[in-house]
Chains A and B, each alone.
Chain A
Amino acid sequence: MSSFAMAGQRTTGNRNRRRLSRVGLHIFLIVLAFIFAWPMLYAIYTSLRPYGEIALNPNGFFSTPATLNLNNYFNVWTAGPLPMFYWNTAVVTIPAVLLTLWISSMVAFTISRFSWRFNLLVLMIFTAGNLLPPQVIILPLYKLYNIIPVPAPLSDNGRLYDQFVGLILIHTTFQTGFCTFVLSNYMKTLSKELVEAAMIDGAGVMTIYRQVVMPLVTPALAALATLLFTWIYNDFFWALLLFKTGDKRPITAALNNLGSEFGSDPTQIAAMSVLAAIPTVVLYMILQRWFVRGLTLGSAKG
């Protein structure tokens, strides 16, 4: 009885305190959100200012802008072949995402639906490999890429090195580890009866994969697709080291090239960074829900 009354008192006391703490929480979050957004806002602001004006001002960047314009964007866009870098990114990213989803869904389907003998081993090999730092294998991989022959339409120099197909291959391979893990977990949550019913109806393995399982994992695939796109788009390491042709690099790795071309002018580097960031930020804004779902799929089952 008394404990009941005390609980009641506590709730009323809490209500006032909670209102107060809610205001405090908002203030805290607003300040923190501003700190988080600041570097991005500042990059955008810098990209709109002419460098000449800043260089001549004794206060440098901490000065009231006399002019704000898009000149830096025009300069960057015309000086470097930016449309080509975006195109390179598309040529690598889109096939890599699709291939990864296709392959990992097949593998996941197999190891999650059937009592496959090496189920555990396969999953371990994929997952552990996916977690390895890529620097561990970069040099042997580079040498291997120079040995493996690749026929003409896929490669213009007969190898994997310096080729889109090579970059697609390593991205697909690395990401397959992650996606297989996620998808096999996801598929295990699907009801077994569906697959069994399909079997009873006489469906073959491929039919079950195509017509029963794939439609059910579409949400997971969509979520993974947004995530994969961002990761592959943002890759710097592989594209930097597995390409020798500057003009073949995807936009993220090309930033390094452009950085030296714009040398000491931070306003153009800012414009370039903003341009490079736009696709993933826009994608994120549109597909926010899928994004978060993709990230959490991987950890839903630990």
Chain B
Amino acid sequence: MDEQEKRVGMLSGGQVTRREVLKKGLIGAAGLTVLPAVIAACSSSATPSPVATITPTTPPAATPTPAGPAVTPAPTTPGAPTFIGPLTGQLTVGSNHSDASEVAGMASIDAAFKTATGLDPKVNKVDHNTFQTQINSYLGATPDDVFTWFSGFRMRFFASKGLATAIDDVWANVSSNYTAGFANAVVGDDKKVYGIPVDYYPWCVFYRKSFFTAKGYTVPATWTDFLALCTKMQSDGITPVAFGDDGGWPAMGWFDILNLRQNGYDFHVGLMTGANKWTDSKVTDVLNLWAKVVPFYLHGYAGLTWQKACDSLIQQKSGMFLLGLFMTGEVATVDAANKTTVLADIDFFPFPFMGNSFDAEKALDAPIDIWMASSKSTTLQADLTNAKAYLEFWSKGSTQVLMYKSQPGFIPTATDADKSSYDVLTAKAVSIVSQAQKITQFLDRDTRPDFAGTNGVGSFFLTFLNNPSQDLAKFQKSVQDFWDKLPVYTGA
């Protein structure tokens, strides 16, 4: 193992080697990267940026930020004074945690922050979808001091537009609590740190164990098995695949995983960044695969929220459900309302494999949620210390576990998080992510936001799903045309 392979190994819990990364050199050190430099390459900068991204990795052994220019996010000052202490003044917090379970988690964290510092943060709760769709107008106007957001290109995009404040000083205090994969995920185009990773969750296929046992179904390992199982379920009068695409984003999870399985990580990243074209025949292949599973989707999916789809899984009307681990939050909510224990019956498996050379990548979407400091907040200068204290507070495992207790789908990112509190599902999720050689964030986090917007790719996917047998060349061209017309990205 050479130096870089070792580093890659460390990132992923010591199980990984990846030669092609070394060959390319472009992606630099971060082995398990997503969407990395390619974006920088399409920017005005002539030199490809070595900055890598992504990589939620297992947090087993605390891995200090490895040496190496590419990974080290900005100069750090070990042992810098903590921002957490008795605080005065105020702090405004923009939160997209609007689901019942997450609201409860936020409440307990803010209470803990008040106990620790004496400062009661003022939370501005906006429902998840609205927060996301209005992020531009929110950050450009009078945002809160700190706010919830996503890592990946989506973070860098807004950081590069001067809508976020670099927090290298906070990072200096907390970097030892993160593995390099997480560290990379919060570095902006300018190599400064812009976020504190607080949770991540893999996208897998969920099902009910008792239901599979009762019906004699087995977990499908391959795409062929998967389709066969779908056919069987359908003949049993069960909807094979729960799916709710209200909002347009859940379909992106399907495209991601099919593209990763069929064409591999590198092609996918290229597609997300514009290096590859949507008119590519490889995209046609993916759409053809997708067309095979569309008939198995829950009826009426386009008008259903993912929560409704989740309910059909809970009620055993549907057999399988591809979604992020956060779906367990909805299960827990329903359990609480109906005094049931469905959550204990939920299990999941990685999306089935195609039987091609990309199987070994074991790739999957595992988005990282982060907290950021805004830049246009009118109160930020006065509240800066408070904001940094809040971000630092979120980097503690003890804080993240508070959210985890309410929303078991959010796996803590901090190395010092108390893993004894993890349930079986979480442990399994951690292990699946650690085995993945390649990890992506999620389509709408890996590509430019104006492409991922409401009337962007999400709508395009719906037009495909509505009629999978349409003229795909024409469809793909319309997507590519839309991409080509977007303003030139002038990131750092």
Contact = CB atoms under 8 A, between A and B. Distances in A.
A264 B330 contact: yes
B337 A51 contact: yes
B101 to A, nearest CB: 10
Contact of A264 (B129, B140, B305, B338): B305
A265 B307 CA distance: 9
Interface in A47-66: 51-52, 55-56
Contact of A161 (B129, B141, B307): B141
Nearest to B138: A244
A244 B376 CA distance: 13
Contact of B124 (A52, A246, A261, A264): A246
A263 B100 CA distance: 8
A142 B311 contact: no
Interface stretch (A94-102, A252-260, A294-302): A252-260
A129 interface: no
A244 B126 contact: yes
A161 B142 contact: yes
B129 A246 contact: no
Most buried by A among B103, B127, B129, B379: B127
A55 B311 contact: yes
Interface in B203-262: none
B140 A263 contact: no
A157 interface: yes
Most buried by A among B125, B128, B330, B333: B125
A145 B337 CA distance: 43
A151 to B, nearest CB: 13
A261 B103 CA distance: 9
Contacts of A240: 130
Contacts of A145: 141
A55 B137 CA distance: 39
A162 B141 contact: yes
A291 to B, nearest CB: 32
B125 A146 contact: no
A245 B103 CA distance: 15
Contacts of B126: 244-246, 257
A263 B330 contact: yes
A264 B127 contact: no
A263 B143 CA distance: 26
Interface in A29-44: none
A235 interface: no
B378 interface: yes
B148 interface: no
B145 to A, nearest CB: 12
Interface in B112-147: 124-130, 134, 137-138, 140-143
A145 B143 CA distance: 14
A101 B260 CA distance: 61
A124 to B, nearest CB: 32
7 contacts: A142-B137, A157-B379, A244-B138, A245-B124, A259-B127, A264-B330, A265-B337
Interface of B: 94, 98-100, 103, 124-130, 134, 137-138, 140-143, 305, 307-308, 310-311, 315, 330, 333-334, 337-338, 378-379
Closest 10 A-B residue pairs measured CB to CB?
A: A264-B307, A260-B127, A263-B307, A52-B338, A246-B126, A257-B127, A157-B142, A246-B125, A245-B124, A146-B141
